[in-house]
Amino acid sequence: MKEYAGHDSAAVVDVDCTAEGKPLCDANGVRGFPTLKWGSPDALEDYEGGRDFDSLLKFAQENLKPTCSPANIELCSDERKAEIEQYSSMSDAELAAAIKEGDEKMEAAEKTFKDEVSKLQSTYEALMKAKDEAVEAVKDSGLGMMKSIAAHKKKAAKDEL
């Protein structure tokens, strides 16, 4: 943060997602801590690189600069320019509806994932309980005593030799 304090084209900020920053974190998909995000404030991306100072500084030097965006369209490829023009030509209501639809699809995917993981957790717990009960039943059937007797017989046979 000190390295980029007062920088013209980049800001490094710390957000407390458990307090005042919670709405910002929720809006940007922060689910665990620490989470590092980078990019346009309007479309942050997950940072997956190293967490040491040198790795972070190298990443910042290579990536924290003006990039293709509606504010910097001259930096965009023809394909990205066309995409920006397409969305820019939409009315505010159309754009809001498209954003809402995309957000709803992402929320639905997250809900499906959580629901399915919950089912897997329930299945895992039931399988673990069944295994534990089966193991306990085998132990209660005398398996330990049988192993002890077999070992005793084996030792007795060695001692006789």
Q: Are 39 and 67 in contact (CB under 8 A)?
A: yes
| pLDDT tens profile 10-62 | 677 788 888 888 888 888 888 877 888 887 777 788 888 898 889 988 988 88
| Its pTM surpasses 0.85 | no
Q: Is 36 helix (H, G, I), strand (E, B) or coil?
A: coil
The residue written with tokens 């910097």 in the block is 72
- Please state, as a whole number, how many other Cβ atoms lie within 10 Å of the Cβ of residue 75: 13
* Whole-number Å distance between alpha carbons of 48 and 37: 9
In the chain, what are the domain boundaries?
1-66, 103-161
| pLDDT tens profile 65-122 | 777 888 889 989 999 999 999 999 999 999 999 999 999 998 999 999 999 999 999 9
Tell me: pLDDT of 124 over 80.
yes
List 38's β-bridge partners, or say none.
45
